[in-house]
Every structure is written in structure tokens, then in C-alpha cells.
Amino acid sequence: MNEPSEPMPSDVFPLPALTPLTQLNVQDNLRINAERWQLAHQYHQQRQNVHYQALWQPGIVYGLGVKLIAPPVGIAPQFQTKSWIEVQPGFAIDGEGNPIVVSETTDRTYPITIPPLTQGVQTLHIVLRHVDPRHLELPNSTDRLQEQFRFDQRVNRLDPKDIELCRVRLSPGQDSLAMPAQGLSPALGELDLTRRRFAQLRSQRSLNLGILPQSQYYPALTTLCQAMQVLYPSLHCQLHPVTQIDPTLDAICLEGNRLIEWHQSPSHSALLQAVKDYSGSLIIVAERFDSTLQESLRRLQRHLNLQPVVASHLMARYPFLFGKLPDFSQASVWIDGRIVIVPSTLFDHWQGKDQSRETIRTWHEFGINLLYYVWYSSHIQTLLR
């Protein structure tokens, strides 16, 4: 069964732009023309959109199911070989707060173009988009314009204005699509409706966490981020596989052994310098917190003063209260400013293998506390720059 995946970077919807709104200065004897009327109308529309962007995230409200159908009768010959879908009536709201109404009376069919693939599995996204009728070439014979929509498709990416209806994983040489035999576990070439996003409150805190793409701890962090969507949705964690130190990220997760290897290899001097210059938080995963690792950390931060996390620390108190810290098997979490040292066993607990539900919940809650502390520390430092 497919589980909710870690959101793609394109799913992190943008906050409102820092552009002041302009409204009409109404006064006596003001002549109203089309331009001024449009300005007054756009002001209220922009206020609505800004409000939605600030507090909500886009998605489906209801309906908008998808099924494969035969090509419609009378369709042009060049479209008869395509895979056609029909979308159920429904309602959605896009990333700018625009309502998208797909009614029963509108044409809800769409021909899918399967892109040619030469290697690897690709993901085809079928999306819904809002269309402003003012941007269409319509006759001026009417004083009413109905907002419209269109179906579209993307390969391996989504635009912030897209509402995903379904996706299909395609393999090279595939030229047809199928309905899923198991709706919760669609196979290659079958419609996948398990990744649809629904309209809901957006997280007001967002942690952009970088991690090396081949890290063995990536699956555990992904599992923790999935749990956080349910246990503490006020904080959103976005994982970014990185090969270089990105200064725009809030924090970066590094393996202690890899850090030691970099210090022992002259070819990694530039990368180490980038780590030193990085102003965000560093999560160092330690299999052994020994003198070798501590020496590598001192090269990153000259005046190193690591302190163990105790029950009175923020990490043990918010958002989940721990009167007693979990048992780290003779290890501890250590902190010195932007550096957080965590034992590798913590990542094993996050994946929940051979553990009770209560134990898994405890480790997930502590992991959320850890990520909250990392976000909060980075957030305060950003405000002070």
C-alpha cells in the first residue's frame, strides 16, 4: 500500500508576495470608467487571494475522481489513439485562492499524451488549473464572464498553481494506461489517486532540511516528516537532497563519519570551508561520539562547548513535554548553538521496526521536538541578521 510521500519542492506553496495592494481612492464627483472599476474589483480579489495564500494550502475540496474512457464519438482521428480520461464533477482551490468549479454540464474529458521515454521510470501528473476568462480572447457581446478551468499534464514536476488529480508511473516503451487493479497500490501504467492533496490549513512554520542524497538516514527522516504531518502539522519539514552546502537552507543533516572523512581528505577542503561558513543549523549523526568526531567538530567551530540535552531544555518541553528523556542506549543528544549531535540509534527508532505503537509514538514525538528546536534556532538567527 502506498503511503503519503514526502512533498516535492514544488508542493511547498509560495507565501504572498511583498507587494502593497492598491485600492481606488473614492471621492465625490469621481468618474467611474472601466479601468477604475477593474481596479476596485481587483483590489478585493487580491485581498482574498493574499488571505488564502497566508493561511491555507491549495487542493481538492471534494469530487474530481478520474477514470479511463474510450475516445469520445466524433473525435478527430489523430486523437483516437490517445488514452482518454473523464473527471468527476467537483471543487478545488488553487495556490492563489482561486475557486475551480468543474460542473456536470462542462466537458470533463481529456486526452493524455504519453511522452516518449528512453530510460528510467518517469511520473506523469494530470492536473487541473484555474483559467481567468479575462485572459481569453472572448467576444465583447456579453457583460458576464464565467471563470473556467483546464486540464493539463506534467512530467516529474508540479507547478504551485496545479491541482493534482492523479499520476501515472511510466516505464520506457509504455504506450497505454490502465485502471488500477488495487486502488491503494497502483502498478506501473495504472492511474494513481493516492497522492492527491486536499485543501487545508497551511503550516505556519517550515523547516528546509538538506541531506546528502545517498545518506542511509534519509528513509528515517522521511518517516519522521510523514508522522509530523499528523502529530504536529503546525511545522512542515521539507527534505532537500543536496550535494553542496546550500546557504538558503535552514539546516543540514550530516553523518559524523563522513565529516571525519572530509577532514582527512584534502580534496574536500572547499566543502569543509562551505560547512564552516554555513550559518544555519547542523544536525550531526554520530554512530560514536568519540574524540575523533569531537576534533572534527572543533575544526568547524573553534570554541566548542557541547552540552547534553536535559529535561529542562526546550527540546524536551516543546511541542511535546518529556518529564524524562527517552533511553538513547548510553548515548545522548548534545548541543552547542547551531550544532546538534544526535545518536544514530535515534534514526532506527523513527522507522519503527519491531517496536510497539507507544514506543514509536514516543520516538516520533521526541524527533518532532528535535526538528522544532532546529527550526526555532534557525528562525531566530534569521530574524537577527
Residues 275 and 286: their CA atoms lie apart, in Å, by 17
**316, 214: one domain:** yes
**142, 259: one domain:** no
Instruction: Evaluate whether residue 1 is within a structural domain.
Output: no
**254, 174: one domain:** no
Residues 190 and 194: their CA atoms lie apart, in Å, by 12
- Res 2: pLDDT: 43
User: In angstroms, what is the C-alpha Rg of the chain?
Assistant: 26
Residues 262 and 61: their CA atoms lie apart, in Å, by 49
**271, 330: one domain:** yes
- Tell me which residue range forms the domain holding 344: 201-383
**173, 260: one domain:** no
Q: Select from 179, 199, 219 the last residue of a domain.
A: 199
- Res 10: pLDDT: 39
- Res 297: pLDDT: 84
**302, 171: one domain:** no
Instruction: Evaluate whether residue 35 is within a structural domain.
Output: no
**223, 334: one domain:** yes
Instruction: Evaluate whether residue 8 is within a structural domain.
Output: no
Q: Select from 164, 199, 234 the last residue of a domain.
A: 199
Regions in the chain scoring below 70 on pLDDT: 1-12, 138-141
- Res 151: pLDDT: 97
Instruction: Evaluate whether residue 362 is within a structural domain.
Output: yes
What total of structural domains would you count in the chain?
Answer: 2
Instruction: Evaluate whether residue 156 is within a structural domain.
Output: yes
Residues 42 and 366: their CA atoms lie apart, in Å, by 46
Q: Select from 199, 228, 261 the last residue of a domain.
A: 199
What pLDDT digit, counting tens, does each position of 116-166 carry? 887 889 999 999 999 988 777 766 667 788 889 999 999 988 888 999 999
> Which three cell numbers, joined as nine digits, stand for 39?
481596479
For residue 214, give the CATH number of its domain. Answer: 3.40.50
Instruction: Evaluate whether residue 53 is within a structural domain.
Output: no
- Res 176: pLDDT: 87
- Res 167: pLDDT: 96
Instruction: Evaluate whether residue 46 is within a structural domain.
Output: no
**94, 219: one domain:** no
What pLDDT digit, counting tens, does each position of 217-268 carry? 999 999 999 999 999 999 999 999 988 888 899 999 998 888 888 888 877 7
**109, 81: one domain:** yes
- Res 9: pLDDT: 39
Q: In what helix (H) or strand (E) does residue 211 lie, and over which residues does it extend?
A: strand 205-211
**155, 214: one domain:** no
Residues 52 and 96: their CA atoms lie apart, in Å, by 7
Instruction: Evaluate whether residue 256 is within a structural domain.
Output: yes
The two counts, helices (H) then strands (E), for the chain are 7, 18
**216, 315: one domain:** yes
Question: How far, in Å, are 112, 150, 329 from residue 125 at the CA level?
Answer: 10, 14, 45
**166, 236: one domain:** no
